[in-house]
């Protein structure tokens, strides 16, 4: 089990990461939905087809990044909730402790490495 010092450090790491991701999400949202994006509708001048394709590609990449940020924010928020309930550091699948080295590398990890690998294999073999 994690010591109080390790739990406090994890809380700090998770909150710092969450703050950074919130700022990045705000920037990406501005790029994806701002006045210069396709989604934001800021362009009214006709464009050449190659310009249009480039802008569409940029918007797709930005939206993909934004989706990843949202997923990470949800995982970090869940980890912070586990810290509050006292279940942080326990695998959600097998209930065994998650290695401290894993939590240092991925502080929002919810599974031990063995269960995470099994889950990944099941995803890879799902029809």
CA angle 116, 97, 101 (to 5 degrees): 75
pTM of the model: 0.75
22-70 per-position pLDDT tens digit: 999 988 888 777 665 554 444 445 566 666 666 677 778 888 889 999 9
Mean pLDDT of the chain: 85
14, exposed or middle or buried, with CB in 10 Å at 0-12, 13-18, 19+? buried
Residue of 2, 62, 1, 56 whose CA lies nearest to 32: 62
Q: What is the CATH number of domain 4-125?
A: 1.20.120.910
DSSP 3-state of 90: strand
Residue % of the chain over a pLDDT of 90: 60
């Amino acid at each position: 089990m994690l010591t109080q010092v390790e739990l406090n450090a994890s809380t700090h790491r998770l909150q710092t990461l969450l703050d950074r991701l919130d700022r990045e999400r705000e920037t990406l949202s501005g790029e994806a939905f701002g006045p210069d994006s396709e989604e934001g509708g800021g362009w009214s001048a006709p464009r050449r087809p190659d310009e249009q394709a480039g802008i569409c590609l940029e918007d797709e990449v930005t939206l993909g990044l934004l989706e990843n940020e949202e997923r990470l924010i949800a995982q970090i928020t869940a980890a912070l909730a586990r810290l509050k309930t006292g279940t942080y550091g326990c695998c959600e699948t097998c209930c065994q402790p998650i290695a401290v080295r894993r939590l240092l590398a991925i502080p929002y990890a919810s599974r031990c490495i063995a269960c995470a690998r099994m889950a990944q294999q099941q995803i890879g073999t799902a029809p």
